[in-house]
């Protein structure tokens, strides 16, 4: 039987890679493993100056992916903005996120859109693009309940949550409880790693902080460490290879992951699959779909002293809290599999 052809559509900022790119790569690999003929269609994305946003969005509207080299493409899967703008008779969207700067981040310090007439015009254009492009989908899935809620709130569009496991599923393990809190991920302002560094001023001096990842906030975060004289307790690792990442998870006290209104967040699942508790904040979005306060981690106010108090709870009760919380977290996410994802996304091919 001839293999079904699937095109995964993805917009990417050149030379920048993060959770969305891992998401798409893992989808590609898992579709290939299930005997589909798959390719990833990428178009570079640029969000500045603001006038470029809709230009890049409409590039997707102009593409013809109904066939390639004379062979029909049976299914296209849209992912993050604006890749779901692709037109195809059998389009499914698995929404990673929209252009949040004109939705939930609009008017905040995390968005360049402040309400000028020009901003409003572009914001309206993006919203109209989303309403049309997403509504063309035969089925709309989201990567988390938080993403689903945003789509319903801002666009009035219904969808279905489709969770997926992190990249190294099956390889995570649990080992020791060494005295360090782990933070992993791109060093972006939205990830609020500055809160963790500030919290280290109030923690037991036995606790260290290990930060893995690179990003635009790196210089600022290192300046904070110097400002608070924490250079002997806070360590920046930069990019971390896979084997080392697994070891860091396996041996930490717990994982700090408190972004602002995260879409999904691999780090939560990676921590739980390593049987480690997660410290987060009440406004961290998709993280809260898994973290339950005083059950598998701690949910804090956005306050460095409160976060420090919870870190101290772990260091002073490590053998009890970490194992109990870690097991509870593991039990919550252990049954999230790619099999369900592939079955759902390819249902229109049957």
Q: How far apart are CA 257 and CA 254, in angstroms?
A: 10
- Dist. CA 285–CA 267, nearest whole Å: 13
Whether 294 is in a domain gets the answer yes
Per residue in 9-67, pLDDT (tens digit) is: 999 999 988 889 999 999 999 999 999 999 999 999 999 999 999 999 999 999 999 99
320-337 confidence digits (pLDDT tens) = 788 999 999 999 999 999
In the chain, what is the straight-line distance between the N-terminal and C-terminal CA atoms, in Å? 14
Largest CA distance in the chain: 66
Domain encompassing residue 245 = 180-333
For residue 340, tell me if it sits in a domain.
Answer: no
| Domain match, 137 and 186 both | no
328 three-state secondary structure: helix
**What distance in Å separates the CA atoms of residue 225 and residue 221, rounded to the nearest whole number?**
6
Does residue 191 share a domain with residue 127?
A: no
| Packed helices 323-333 and 266-273: angle between N→C axes, nearest 10 degrees | 120
Q: Residue 188 has which token pair?
A: 């972006």
Residue-level pLDDT at 2: 87
345: in domain: no
Q: Is residue 32 part of a domain?
A: yes
**Domain presence at residue 174:** no
CA neighbor of 263 nearest in space, from 26, 97, 78, 151: 97
Report yes or no on 339 lying in a domain. no
The secondary structure of residue 300, as a DSSP letter, is E
Token readout for 96 is 């990673």
**What is the C-alpha to C-alpha distance for residues 255 and 210, in angstroms, rounded to an integer?**
10
Which residue in this structure is represented by tokens 């700067």?
A: 101
Residue 202 and residue 121 share a domain: no
The count of structural domains within the chain is 2
Tokens linked to 163? 């969770």
What's 308's domain CATH number? 3.40.50.2000
- Residues 291, 154, single domain; the answer is no
Q: Mean pLDDT in each 10-residue stretch from start to end of the chain (350 residues)? A: 94 90 96 97 94 96 96 97 98 97 94 93 97 98 97 98 95 95 96 98 97 96 98 97 97 97 95 98 97 97 98 84 94 96 96
Q: Are residues 117 and 150 in the same domain?
A: yes
Q: Are residues 44 and 154 in the same domain?
A: yes
Distance CA(182)–CA(240), nearest Å, equals: 12
Which DSSP state fits 322?
I
Do residue 220 and residue 100 come from a single domain?
Answer: no
Beta bridge partners of 71: 68
189 and 157 fall within a common domain: no
Phi and psi at residue 180, in whole multiples of 5°? Answer: -145, 145
Sign of CA dihedral 340, 343, 345, 348: negative
Any domain includes 106: yes
Asked whether residue 135 falls in the same domain as residue 253, the answer is: no
- Quick check: 45 and 14 in contact, CB under 8 A? no
The verdict on 228 and 202 lying in the same domain is yes
Considering the domain architecture, whether residues 126 and 271 belong to the same structural domain is answered as: no
Name the one residue in this structure whose structure tokens are 């008017």. 107
141 & 206 share domain: no
């Amino acid at each position: 039987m001839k293999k079904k052809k699937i095109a995964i559509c993805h917009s990417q900022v050149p030379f920048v890679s993060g959770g969305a790119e891992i998401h798409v790569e893992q989808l590609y690999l898992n579709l290939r493993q299930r005997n589909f003929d798959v390719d990833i269609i990428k178009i570079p994305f640029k969000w500045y100056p603001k006038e470029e946003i809709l230009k890049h969005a409409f590039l997707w509207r102009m593409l013809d992916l109904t066939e390639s080299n004379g062979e029909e493409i049976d299914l296209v899967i849209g992912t993050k903005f604006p890749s779901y703008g692709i037109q195809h008779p059998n389009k499914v969207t698995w929404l990673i996120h929209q252009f949040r700067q004109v939705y939930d981040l609009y008017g905040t310090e995390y968005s360049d859109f402040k309400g000028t007439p020009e901003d409003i015009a572009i914001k309206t254009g993006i919203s109209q693009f989303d309403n049309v492009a997403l509504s063309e989908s035969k089925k709309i899935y989201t990567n988390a309940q938080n993403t689903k809620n945003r789509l319903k709130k801002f666009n009035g569009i219904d969808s279905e949550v489709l969770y997926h496991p992190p990249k190294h599923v099956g390889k995570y393990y649990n080992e020791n409880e060494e005295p360090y809190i782990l933070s992993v991920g791109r060093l972006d302002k939205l990830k609020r790693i500055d809160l963790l560094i500030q919290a280290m001023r109030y923690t037991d001096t036995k606790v260290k902080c290990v930060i893995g990842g690179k990003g635009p906030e790196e210089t600022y975060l290192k300046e904070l460490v110097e400002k608070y004289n924490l250079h002997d307790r806070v360590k920046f690792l930069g990019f971390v290879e896979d084997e080392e990442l697994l070891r860091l998870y396996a041996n930490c006290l717990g994982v700090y992951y408190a972004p602002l209104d995260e879409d999904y967040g691999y780090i939560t699942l990676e921590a739980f699959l390593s049987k480690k508790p997660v410290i987060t904040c009440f406004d961290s979005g998709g993280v809260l779909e898994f973290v339950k306060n005083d059950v598998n981690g701690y949910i804090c106010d956005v306050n460095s002293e409160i976060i420090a108090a919870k870190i101290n709870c772990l260091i002073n009760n490590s053998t009890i809290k970490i194992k109990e919380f870690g097991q509870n977290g593991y039990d919550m996410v252990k049954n999230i599999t790619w099999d369900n994802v592939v079955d759902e996304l390819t249902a229109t091919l049957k």
